[in-house]
Amino acid sequence: MKRRTRKFIGTIAILAFGIFYALLVMAFAHSRVPEWPSAAQLAFYIVFGMGWILPILPLIRWMEKRGAGEE
């Protein structure tokens, strides 16, 4: 598979994952987090705000991988 095709597929997957992840976290945050102390809320938003990066890293590596015959 050419890199251009992998980047297209990966971009669509990242967008879909981002939308799903954001909706899931927002639903949880809206229902539970307002009751928590301020420090716990801050920790939640830091962890889950950065939490989408780790699941996406393998996909980004796959997108950037050189295919057979590419320079």
Query: What's the pLDDT tens digit per position in 4-36?
Result: 999 999 999 999 999 999 999 999 999 999 999
**Under a CB-based contact definition with an 8 Å cutoff, are residues 69 and 10 in contact?**
no
Query: What's the pLDDT tens digit per position in 56-71?
Result: 999 999 999 876 666 5
- pTM of the entire predicted model: 0.79
Residue 17 burial (CB count, 10 A): 14
